Amino acid sequence: MLFKVEMTVNIPLDMPVETAAEIKAKEKAYSQQLQQEGKWRHIWRIAGLYSNVSIFDVKDAEELHNLLMALPLYPYMDINVDALCRHPSSIRNDDK
């Protein structure tokens, strides 16, 4: 099942630079692992913002929730979730 997730990151202004760098490195590794497993299908940056648009391909809402809760940056994020389904006009078979 596909979900669109939009994430906006708000790092506290007083977080030490090294701490922020460490969390971001973990976030990147975690994101890339999920991408390689095919669960985090797409991730794009919204131009000018510390925000991304992502497409997740998961078994159900439970799996999505667990994946998001494990994001190292989760405590600093505003999250918006929309459940998606295949569009009748889509010509891509794997775009569900």
Give the shortest CB-67-to-a copy of itself separation in angstroms: 9
Smallest separation, CB 28 to a copy of itself (Å): 5
Based on CB atoms, which residue is closest to a copy of itself, 18 or 85? 85
Residues lying near a copy of itself in the complex (CB under 8 A) are found at 1-5, 11-13, 27-28, 31-32, 35-36, 42-49, 52-53, 55, 60-62, 64-65, 68, 75-76, 79, 81-92, 95-96
Integer Cα distance of 8 and 11 in angstroms: 10
| 6 close to 79: Cβ distance less than 8 angstroms | yes
Quote the DSSP letter at residue 27: H
Q: Give the tokens for residue 66.
A: 């667990």
Least distance in angstroms from the C-beta of 14 to a copy of itself: 9
Q: Residue 12 or 16: which CB sits closer to a copy of itself?
A: 12
Q: Please state, in angstroms and rounded to a whole number, the distance separating the CA atoms of residues 4 and 84.
A: 7
CB of 59 to a copy of itself, least distance (A): 9
With tokens 């994946």, the residue in question is: 67
Phi then psi for 88, rounded to 5 degrees?
-60, -20
